[in-house]
Amino acid sequence: MDSLRRLLGIIPVAVLLATAPAPALAASADRVNEIASQLVCQCGCGLVLNNCNHEHCEPRDSMLAYIGQALDQGKTKDAIIASLVESYGEVVLAAPTKRGFNLVGWITPFAAIAAGGGIVYLAVRAWMVWDRRTREEAVEIAADDPYLLRVDDELKRYEERMG
């Protein structure tokens, strides 16, 4: 059923692609570029649509022409992208949509970092020495590093001299 719906969806876009004039778009190049930057060229180069640099790239040229023509017809960016997804599938999008299973793709990195942060927090709390005595003894630099002690000493003497 999905395949049939997709096939039916391809027809209007295919007609548009076939009849679209190659360059000479009336739509603003910036608008076309903005939409193209969210799509992937389907020639197999794997690049974002407006970055494909193949000399005679039929998929790129027809997709760009379609975007220009659809903009001229007053279609919105979302509608243009939706019709291209209908034709090519989600693989045409340069990034996954933010719904359904794809949401897992967007959320997981941040969830992992949040989980990692939680683990770090718990680990640090377990490490922490709340003992007042220890905190009083704590110093700003490691006492066993002769280099830092020397630099600190020089800085202290320098700052005393400077007042």
| Contact residues: another protein, CB under 8 A | 23-24, 29, 33, 37-38, 40, 44-48, 51-56, 89-96, 101-102, 105-106, 108-110, 112-113, 116-117, 120, 124, 127-129, 134-135, 138-142, 145, 147, 151, 154-155, 157-158, 161
For 157, the token pair is 């003497």
- To another protein, the closest distance from the beta carbon of 54 in angstroms equals 6
What is the C-alpha to C-alpha distance for residues 48 and 27, in angstroms, rounded to an integer? Answer: 20
Could you tell me the two tokens for 96?
Answer: 């996954």
Complex with another protein: residue 1 or 161, whichever CB lies closer: 161
26-29, Cβ contacts within 8 angstroms, sequence gap of 24 or more: 26/68, 26/72, 27/67, 27/68, 27/69, 27/71, 27/72, 28/71
Contact 10, 62 (CB under 8 A): no
Shortest reach from residue 36's CB to another protein, in Å? 10
CB of 79 to another protein, least distance (A): 19
C-beta closer to another protein: residue 15 or 145: 145
